Structure 1
C-alpha cells in the first residue's frame, strides 16, 4: 500500500501550489555558536576522538579533535601575524586535502570568510574570483596554482599575502608577503607563546550571523555570482542533511572526500558537517580515490551523479574480468534483485523466500563486487548537484546500495528536498520537503520550483539586483521546472531558461530527453537542439569506448539507441537527426562550467556547422536563394 500525504498541497494567492509537508521536527535548531567556537567546544569535550583522517602512503592517518584545534590555532595566529583582520576574504586555490579544511577554520576563527577557488581554473578565472571577492590573502596548493595567482597579482591591489601548501610562493612583488605553510604555522606557534589568550579572544568575538563562506555559482547561465552564507545558514544546511539521515548525528560514519571543496556540496559535507555530527572524513586527491575507498571502506557517500556512474562502470569492469562461474552467479542474482527492487519501489513487502534469496545474493555476489571499489560497508548513499539517470540508481539499488537523491543549490547550500522517508526509494525523483515546516517548497504557475528555508543565502556578493531577481516575496526561484505527484515527490523536468521553442511553436524541455540518452554507455553527453527550428536534433558526445569503434559501427549503434529513445517520446519530441561531436566539450572553450555543467549557447556556437547540417539545408537554402533572386542580396 502506498503512503498517504498527511497534508494536501495548498494554493496561495500568488497562484503557487505548496509541496506537502509530511510532519514536524522541533529538535533541530541552530546553536548560538560559530563553527570556530564549536570546534573549540568539540576539542574540549572529545580531545582524543578522531576528527578527520588524511590518506597518505596507502593508509588513513587520523587527527584528533585536540590536534585539529591546535593546527587551526597555529594557522589562525599565523594569518593574524600577516595582518589578516575580521571581515577579510581569504581565498583557497587547492584540490581536496586536510590543509584546505584547517585553513578554512583558521580563517573563520579570525572572523574572516573562506573563498574556494577551483584548482582547475585558468589564470583569468582565478583573477575574476580574487578580484570580485576582494581577497586579501590567498592559499595556493602547488607551483602551478602559485603561478596563476602570481600572474595576476599586479592587478589585485588588495592582495597582501600568499601562502603555499607545498612550496614557498615565488614571483610576487615586495608588497605581497609570500610564506610556506610550515612557516605560517611556525609564526602562529610563536605568536601563541607571546600572547596565549589571543586565539581564544579572536574566536569568541565571532558572531553566528557573520558571513562564513563565499561560494561561486557554476556560471551555466551567465557570469558566476558570489553566494554569501553565514554561520547560521550553514548550520541550518548541516541540520537539513541530518534530517535526511539522523543516524549521522548519533553514530560514527566514515566518508572519503576527494571532490573539490570549492563546490558547495563537498564543502558542506567535508568542512562544516563533521563539526556538528559524527561524520569522520578521510581527505584524498582524485587520483587516490579508488585506493582510499578500498582502504577506508566508507559507510556513507554523497557524490554527483557522474561519480556514481563512473564507479558503477568500475564495478562492471571488475565483473567482466571475473571467472565464468561468478558471472553466472551474478546473472542469477540479478534476476532476483530486479524482482525484489520492483517490489520495494511499489512499497510492497517481498515474500520471505525472496528476501532470503536476495540476502544470499547480497552476501555472495553483490557485496564482494562492491568491496572491489570499497563500497561494501555503505549504509546510505546520496546523490546531488545534477540529474541522476534512473537506470544508474536502479542498478546500485539492485546491488543493495541504498542510493537516494537530495536537492539543493548554491543558494540553499543544504538540501531542501530529499528522499528521506524510506530506504531504497523509487528512482527518478528528488524527494519531498523536509520533515520540518520551516523547509518549504512550492510550484509557481509556470511550473518553477521555489523554496523557502532557514538555510537560504544572505545574497549575491555586491549584486543587489541579482539578489532581488532571484527572490519572489521571500521565496527563492530555482529556475527548475518540476512536477509533483500525489505523494509529494518532486520530479525535475527541465530548466526555465533552457526551454526550447520550435518554429512550430512547440515548447520543449531538453533535459529529460538528454538524461534518457545518457543512460546508454555509448553516450557521455547529449545536447538537444531545436530553438526556432522545425524539429529536434541532438549533438552527441560519445564515450571513450565508443570512440574505439569504426565510424560506421559507431553511428549504427547510436542510431539504434536514439530510435529506442524516440519510441518513448511523443512525435513532436522525437529526434530526427544526430551528429557526433568531433572532440570532448571543454571548460577552457567556455562550453562547460568548472563544475561540468553544459553551457548550451556556447556549445551551439562552437558547433554551429554540425547543427546546420542536421536541418533541411535544401528548403532553407532555396528560401535564401529565392530571396536573393527576387531582390538581390539582403542587407
Structure 2
C-alpha cells in the first residue's frame, strides 16, 4: 500500500547513538537552555541548565560508570520516577554503550525480580530506600547483579567521585563505537497478562520518530521565535516518556521534570514552569477538563462554562470542516460568540495551564473526539497520535493544517501501515523493534516478513487517516455471537464528570455490561451541590443520593449507547466502591486496565449483575424507557 507521508522524509542522518545529539548540541550551542531544574528550596522556581552543563554532568557520571566496571553491552536497570537524574543517568549509560532497562518504581517484588533476571542486568539504579529494599529482597536470585545505586543517598555523587581519574577521552571513545542499530533500551511491556516481555529497541529506532516529528511539527510546539518548553510528567519507564525526553534532547527543546502525577503537583508545575506544549495520555486531558467543569460549578458558573464548551466545540468543528475543504468555516454569529467566551472563559482556562500552552499530543489510547474539539476551540490544538512499545514510540501523527479529530492521524514518513482482513493493524518502518528478549517464538509471531502485528484493531480511510477501534484480544463476544469493542464505550462513559473508570464486560453473556468507578473529587462536589439544592425530606439523604447517582450514571450510559447499535449497548452495570489503581493491581504502570485481573477480581459482582437481570429486575434499557433524548445533557450528536 502507499505511504501517506506528511513531513520531510529525512530529518537527519544518524551515524552513532542517542547520546551524540546532546554532545552535538553542546558543541554547537553550549549556552542553549536544555533542562529546567526545580530549585529544591523554592519549588516554584526553575533554574535553567545549559546544554554544555548537562553534557559535563553526563560525562562525569559516565566516567564513574566506567570506573565501576560498566562496559558496552552491559544492561543497567533504572527504577525511578521522571526526574532530572533519570535523564542525566540515561545519557551517561548510552555514552558508554550500556543498555538501559527501565522499570516502573511501583513495580512489585516479583516483577522486579523477573525483569532484572530476564534482562541479565549487572546493575540497577533505584530512587529511594523503598527501591533498595525491593531489589535487596530478590538479590539472592540474581547472581549477575553487581551494583545497586540509590539516587537519594548520594550514590550518583559518589559515582562521579569514583570516576575522577578516568580521562574524558575514554567516554568519548566508548560513545563513538556505539552504532545506530545497537540496542539502546530493553523496554518491558506492561504485562496485562502473564510476564512482561522485553522489547529490544535500537538507538536508530528510538531516534527515528523523534527526528521526523521534530522536522515536521517542531514549529507548532511554541510561538514563533520562542523555544518550546516541555513538562515531562509521564514515566520514562514507558516508551512514550522516553520519546518525549528524546525529542527535547535531540531538538533543543527545554525539558522539565515533574515526578508526581497528582492533581496538585501537576497543576503547580504547569503554573510555575509554563510549558508551551503538553504531552499526555487521555486520562490527563480528561482530568483537566473535569477540573475546569468542577471549579466552574463551584464558583456558580457551571451554566456559563457549559455554554462556552458548546461554543468551543461548534467553532472547532466548523474550523475542522473548513481545513478539510468540507465547509465554509465559522459563521459570523459563531465568531462573535467565540470572541465573547475567549474574553470571559477560554483565556482563563489557558492561564490555569500556565498561559503559554498552544498545543498538545495525546497517546496511549484514542482521545475522545468531543474532547479534542473542546481543546481546539479554546485555543489548544491537541493532536492524537498512535504508537506502541514495539514501535519505539509514535508511528502516526496529525498532518499540520489537515488535522482530523477522532483519528490518530497518518503514518509518519518512512513508516507503512496496513490493515489486515480481520482488522488488525500491521506496521513496517525504521522504528519497529528488533524482537523480544529471550523469546524467539514470540518475536516470530509478532514480526512476519518485517511487518509488526500490533494486536490493535483499526481502519484506514481514503486519505490515509487511521482510526483505532480496540484491541484484538479485548473484543467481547456475547452469547449471541455479537462482537463488541469495549474501548469506544468506555471512552464515552469516562466523559461524564462523575465517572472515573469503566470496564465493559460481556464475554459469553446475553448482553453487554459495565463495571464503573466514580471520580472522588467530582463525587464530593456533586454530593455537596445535591444536598444544597434538594429540599425533599420525604426520602433520607442516602436514598436521595443513591437515586440521583443512579440517574446520572444512566445518563452517561445513554450517551455511550447512542453511539452503538442496540445489540452492542450496555444493559446492566455495577458501581464499584474502589477505583482501579496500581496499588490494587488493576492498572498497568502506563495507566491501562488489566482486564483479565479486573474480571477475575470482580467475578462475583459480575455474576450478581447478570443474575439480577435474569431475575427480572430492571435493566438499563427499561430504566431509560420513556426518556426523551433532550433530557440527556451528555449526549452529543456531532457529525463524526
The answer, yes or no, to whether TM exceeds 0.5 is yes
Q: Give the match for residue 52 of structure 2.
A: 66
- How many Å separate the matches in 1 of 2:88 and 2:186? 17
Q: Distance in 2 between matches of 1:319 and 1:390?
A: 22
Deviation at 1:363, TM superposition (A): 4.6
Whether the aligned pair in 2 keeps the contact of 1:393 and 1:427 (CA below 8 Å) is yes
CA contact (8 A) 1:429 1:491 kept: yes
TM-score under structure 2 length normalisation: 0.86
Structure 1 spans left out of the alignment, 5+ residues: 1-17, 169-179, 622-635
Aligned length: 583
The residue number in structure 2 matching 1:259 is 234
**Alpha carbons of 1:458 and 1:606: their partners in 2 closer, same or farther (altered >3 Å)?**
same
CA distance in 1, matches of 2:34, 2:199: 28
- Residue 32 of structure 2 corresponds to residue 32 of structure 1: no
Cα RMSD for the two superposed structures: 2.5
Task: Tell me which residue corresponds to 2:446.
Answer: 470
Other structure's SS at 2:502 match: strand
State whether residues 391 and 519 of structure 1, in contact with CA within 8 Å, keep that contact through their aligned partners in structure 2: no
Once the two structures are superposed, the pairs formed by residues 32-111 of structure 1 within 5 Å of their partners are: 32-56=15-39, 57=42, 58-111=44-97
5 Å matches for 1:38-187? 38-56=21-39, 57=42, 58-167=44-153, 180-187=155-162
**Residues 219-298 of structure 1: matches in 2 within 5 Å?**
219-247=191-219, 252-270=227-245, 272-286=246-260, 288-298=265-275
Question: Which secondary structure state, in structure 1, belongs to the residue aligned with residue 371 of structure 2?
Answer: helix
Aligned-pair distance for 1:33?
Answer: 2.5
| 1:528-587 CA-partner distances (Å, limit 9, x unpaired) | 221112211111122215655533332232123323433443221122211112322243
2:389 match: secondary structure: coil
Question: Where does residue 411 of structure 2 map in the other structure?
Answer: 433
Q: Which residue of 1 aligns with 2:371?
A: 392
The alpha-carbon deviation at position 474 of structure 1 amounts to 1.3
- Superimposed CA distance per residue, residues 593-631 of structure 1 (whole angstroms, 9 cap, x where no aligned partner): 22221122221111111111122479799xxxxxxxxxx
TM-score, with normalisation over the residues of structure 1? 0.86
SS of the equivalent of 2:14 reads coil
Q: Quote the Cα distance in structure 2 between the aligned partners of 1:294 and 1:94.
A: 24
Mapped to 2, the partners of 1:511 and 1:620 lie a distance apart of: 29
Instruction: Tell me, in whole angstroms, the C-alpha distance in 2 between the residues paired with 1:217 and 1:68.
Output: 30
Q: Distance in 2 between matches of 1:449 and 1:482?
A: 6
Structure 2, unaligned stretches of length 5 or more?
323-327, 528-544, 617-640
Q: Secondary structure at the match of 1:197?
A: helix
Matched-pair contact (CA < 8 Å) for 2:192–2:596: no
Check conservation: 2:10, 2:212, Cα contact below 8 A: no
> Which moves more between the two structures, 527-536 or 196-205?
196-205
Q: Is the 8 A contact 2:33 2:49 kept in 1?
A: yes
Separation in structure 2 between the aligned mates of residue 89 and residue 487 of structure 1, nearest angstrom:
43
State the 1:199 CA deviation: 2.1
The 10-residue stretch of structure 1 (573-582 or 94-103) with the greater mean CA deviation from structure 2? 573-582
CA distance, structure 1, for counterparts of residue 613 and residue 254 of structure 2: 63
2:316 matches 1:341: yes
| Alpha-carbon offset, residue 36 of structure 1 | 2.0
CA contact (8 A) 1:241 1:414 kept: no
Query: Structure 1 residue 94: deviation in Å?
Result: 0.8
Q: Are the counterparts in 2 of residues 54 and 284 from structure 1 also a CA contact under 8 Å? A: no
8 Å contact 1:225–1:460 — kept in the other structure? yes
How many angstroms does 1:276 deviate by?
A: 1.8
In the TM superposition, what is the alpha-carbon distance from 1:351 to its structure 2 partner?
4.3
Q: Is 1:555 aligned to 2:533, yes or no? A: no
Say if 1:524 and 1:543, in contact at 8 Å, map to a contact too: yes
1:520 aligns with 496
Shift of 1:354: 4.7
User: Any conservation in 1 of the 2:234–2:240 contact (CA below 8 Å)?
Assistant: no
Give deviations 1:31-83, integer Å, cap 9, x for gaps: 21222223222211111111111122211111111111111111111111111
Following superposition of structure 1 onto structure 2, how do residues 412-491 of structure 1 map, counting pairs within 5 Å? 412-422=391-401, 425-434=403-412, 436=413, 438-491=414-467
Distance in 1 of aligned mates of 2:332 and 2:589: 49
**Aligned equivalents of 2:270 and 2:613: distance in 1?**
56
